[in-house]
Structure 1
Amino acid sequence: MPAEHDLITTPVTAGLLRGALDVERTEHGLLPHRLPAWARAQNTDPQLAMAESQSSGIRLALRTRATVVELDTLRTKREYVGAPPRPDGLYDLLVDGRLTGQGSVTGGNTVTVDMTAGTAELRPGPVGTVRFTGLPDSLKTVEIWLPHNERTEVVALRTDAPVDPAPADGRRVWLHHGSSISHGSDAASPTSIWPALAASLAGVELTNLGLAGSALLDPFTARTLRDAPADLISVKIGINLVNADVMRLRAFTPAVHGFLDTIREGHPDTPLLVVSPILCPMHEDTPGPSVPDFSGIAAGRLRFAALGDPAERASGKLTLNVIRDELARIVRRRAADDPNLHYLDGRDLYGEADAAEFPLPDDLHPDAATHRRIGERFAELAFADGGAFGERGASDA
């Protein structure tokens, strides 16, 4: 093998990436996206633009004998005025499916956000390098999972042995859409977000369309799900509709039907699981919007509060309980003609007993331990024999 100072540079192409639905050539390298260009062109929301460009679920997948792997990337990291620095995004290295290393890069761009003023300032920075050594000297599949909470432009890949794209291994592709909880907010690393954990336990390939703050039944998201390859599909609907306070029950019901109709245009018989919100006590019976509480931000504590009035439910304002009841009704009605459509109550993933054991640190997002609980539960419930994605799921609908 070449010496470490004489590493082989392999051009980074879309064929080395998994979990991305589009790639963009930038002046630095390859920027993976989780929404295609035509969908991005229809979006006007900076929050969604940020979320879809972050690399949740995206990884390089290589077949190689290399014992040394270096990856140059340009990250874009976010900081918040008045808050302690956020931890660097992590890269998870898997060898034949096992986590064997973690690292991060320095440098990169920084976006400083002033949440009180509603402003953001970009400070450019240099490319950084993450390096992994000591890999086994044998032919193997190497995956490098990119940080789930940072925008990552992949600049260069160097190894001490040739690499090829990892071949498809026949595993089913699971396409999932949800909110920041599915995106991985407050998870420890990219392979420990709950969808990645569930995919690993179930032995499926994940494409993650968890979009922080942006699971809002957007038609372009439905068309993206319609067009993306998938053997299994799940959509987790609810929390963003409440905390953004974007619609009432009159609009919600037809929007859900339209969202599901669009997915079915491209995947008429694919197992499709509708998941309602996990427990979030502040919004169970109180409508949104939810807003950040900055009083503890200097000490690194950001919390959220619900501003709605429970009495407004009578005029159609959405709460999590209202959404769960309506989603269950919609799926029950549609399943009479669609035996591959299923419903899962999110409180079966994280309910009252779980909240007593693992309370939501900011009253909205799960921590690392809770991501593990949710991932394990989802694997147990959805992928079990007779579950939505299990061997007899379709026939038992």
Structure 2
Amino acid sequence: MNLNFTAEEQGFRRQVREFVAKSLPADIQHKVVNGLILERYDYVRWQAALHEQGWGGSSWASEFGGTGWSAVQKYIFEEECAAAGAPRIIPFGVKMVAPVIMAFGSAAQQQRFLPNILSGQEWWCQGYSEPGSGSDLASVKTTAVRDGDAYIVNGQKTWTTQAQYADWIFCLVRTDTEVKPQRGISFLLIDMKSPGITVRPIITMDGAHEVNEVWLENVRVPAENLVGQENQGWTYAKFLLGHERTNIAGIGIAKRELARLKRIAALEMKNGKPLIKDPLFSARIAQIEIDLVALEITNLRVLSAEEQRRAPGPEASILKIKGTEIQQAITELLTQAVGSYALPLRREAMAAGYQGEMAGPFYATPLAANYLNMRKLSIYGGSNEIQKNIIAQMILGL
């Protein structure tokens, strides 16, 4: 693989860089670069700016209103956005359910849902995990019983990210209990305003309200919201998870956070010298950077395969494992770099911009929250242990 960008690709990079510099609101950039909390409005504003430019669907085919960019262009776009401090694209609509609707949905579903996903007018959340069904999605117990021109849905979803903001949820539901577990699952699109849906917050250990429980009690869902064929949802779920695990790798974000780590390590002192000059600490930074370069090459290979309309294979699991490990390692070194200043965690004070005498430097304030929040990365999207099993089966034949 030739890792040198062509003159045309370098020109595209300059175009993206100029657009982001002009269009990214300064207050959003400040929050992202400093690890502060982003609200729904921040994400909506950025998606609207991208949509106005015609870049709302950077990974979409042009026939659906996307950019039709090559794998290299998509990579450059995401790298430049992350480096500039743009918020990540919320994946549930643009990068997860949209590809499923494009590949398996009806023309009516494509016309109904894709434009509003692209513009950011409708937000989505993911209804996969349940109290007893996390990485083992074949054990899904939420049921959907056909009743005329609708399905009656009952069950519970959990760890549902941003359900408190979502307009729609895409759900795995069990439509046949008499067959092999994987064969009795269907893929439904459900309006979050439907009667019978209750969203209850789960406050995570970093004090944030990011995930939720979603209860569905006799929720009536039009049969036209079934994606593809009944009882074929397992196929669509695997297709979606391949895309999710690829996105979780977060190469651009990891590069930005690695640069942030280097800046902080240059400011913090140890034995009268900048921490970045400490041999042991600098060696750990170097190891992360080496791993990140290797992961980047693998990510480019996966993107090239997607461009040839091949679904991500075991490489997606490799990206998921190593990408999350790298991001977690960076947050660990960030907290170690500032020492005891990383310990206080007051989200209300952070949101208000408070910087007390004992709080230490501004850049230290959100590090504890970021560290705690990043513990989730090795669990969601299919735990890293499950991903290792997938690699063993698909590559090693074990």
TM range (shorter): under 0.3
TM-score for both structures, normalised by structure 2: 0.27
TM-score for both structures, normalised by structure 1: 0.27
Q: Which structure is higher in RCO with an 8 Å CA cutoff and minimum separation 6?
A: 1
Higher helix share: 2
Higher strand share: 1
